[in-house]
Amino acid sequence: MSTLKSTIVWLAGLSLLVQVAIAALPFDWFGNDGQMPSLAPMLEQSKPAVVNIATKSHVRVQDNPLLNDPFFRHFFNIPKQQPRHRTKQSLGSGVIFDAKQGLVLTNNHVIQRADEITVSLTDGRSFEAELVGSDPATDVALIKIPAEQLTALPLANSDQLRVGDFVVAIGNPFGLGQTVTSGIVSALGRSGLGIEGYENFIQTDASINPGNSGGALVNLRGELVGINTAIFSPGQSSGNIGIGFAIPSNMVKQITDQLIEFGEVKRAYLGVQMQDITEELAKAFNIESGKGAVVTRIVKDSAAEESGLQVGDVILSIAGTKLINADSLRNTIGLLMVGQTIDVEILRDGKDKTLTATVKESKKATQKATAHPKLSGASFGDIEESSPYYGNIDGVMTFSVKRGSPAWQAGLRANDIITSVNKQTVANLAEFKPLVHNNDKELLFNITRKQRSMFLLLR
């Protein structure tokens, strides 16, 4: 009997705690009848801040190569063909970031090839948007609409997220219109997936599908904790299987601040080349494997050299962030602000030591290539040290491509890595320039884009 009484008392206490917790929440979680719990009160305030994005792009249609052969056209009396284009449309989502300025967050891949961007609000209004700036390396873009009376989502501190927290995804899956799904945070700090250049994803089982890209992941307070970006779909599946990824709001804020100020992200770099700690190296350094990365090279006149870092040092943490491997170092540095002073915790000769470094802007040796008419509007240079390709691949980096320019129309995009020109490999800008200079003939580029290789023919 005493056990039964204890249980009743315990349940009563638990019920009281739940009631107190619910009363403390900023929304009325119960319907008008006072009995049915619901997310509706929170969503009524959050949904107007999530928009639908429709884009149009004009893609050049590749003709049969024979139709471009002068001899073939002359022999069969075929007139010279004019370039043909087709219109491509796509759908995505966005989140109103600043109601007064009309700023809308979305994914770079939602708008990156768009010639026209249309934003539709939940109240039925539609506006043509202009691009403020984008960062392909993190897949974040910022656009602007000339609208008034907008609703923006407040930003949460994504560093406070925990696995198991409830979250809600709001977006436009498959173009159906605004849709809400719920789930939990399944994992944090997901990286090394090869989806983007810099990865620190929130993983969630809230259903995310094509069209949800750029939409909101919110907590139960209606605060933005992430921008929905990608899903994991094995095989031929293109739908949700319970593994979705979102860019954390703190990372989005870092990127957005720079896009507003500069129109692009000015990436910091430390000036080191790193190597993962293998089991053999861990024994040699007398540390645990899977923790930190060892310095293999120091760049002259870099922040690393000025801080006193040496080859053979094992970097354990950067700015308070524990490192797992060399990729996590690059990811951490690439998201810092240029000029930021950080602590670098290292292991040297078996002893812990903390150094101070002030990260610098990544140096770009650029070349505006206007020799070939199809390269007009693009700038090229050696691969940046902040790039995930640095030290892993030889080639030339496409730094920028002006939207609508001949280079853009030819299919070149920022952050493309050109590894060969007309089947001749190029390791750097010095080898690239002679192959495109004073050349108005066809150019065949072998390009690496988002971990995938492709050929691009410019004529």
| Owner of token pair 């966005």 | 94
Specify whether the CB–CB gap between 291 and 322 falls below 8 A. yes
- Catalytic position from the list 186, 213, 328, 362: 213
Element (H, E) at 218: strand 216-218
Tokens, residue 34: 């006072």
Distance CA 117, CA 5 (A): 65
The single residue listed with the structure tokens 């319970």 is 242
Half-sphere exposure for 15 (CA within 13 Å, toward CB): 6
Does residue 109 have an active-site annotation?
yes
Q: How far apart are the C-alpha atoms of 104 and 96, rounded to whole Å?
A: 4
> Among positive and negative, which fits the CA dihedral 164, 165, 168, 174?
negative
The question of whether 302 is a catalytic residue gets the answer no
Catalytic: which of 109, 158, 186, 249? 109
In 189-242, alpha helices (H): none
CB-side neighbour CA atoms (13 Å) of 166: 6
With H, G, I as helix, E, B as strand and everything else as coil, classify residue 267: coil
Determine which helix (DSSP H) or strand (DSSP E) holds 429, and give its type and residue range: helix 429-436
Residues 6+ apart with CB under 8 A from 293: 274, 275, 276, 277, 314, 315, 323, 325, 326, 328, 329
Measured between alpha carbons, how far is 146 from 89 in angstroms, rounded to an integer? 22
State the Cα–Cα distance between residues 354 and 318, nearest whole angstrom.
Answer: 10
From CA 96, how far away is CA 200, in angstroms rounded? Answer: 22
User: Is 93 a catalytic site residue?
Assistant: no
- 139, 313, 382, 416: the catalytic one is 139
3-state helix, strand, coil in the chain (%, to 5): 25, 35, 40
Place of tokens 């471009």: 68
152/61 Cα distance (integer angstroms): 40
Question: Which residues does the annotation mark as catalytic?
Answer: 109, 139, 213
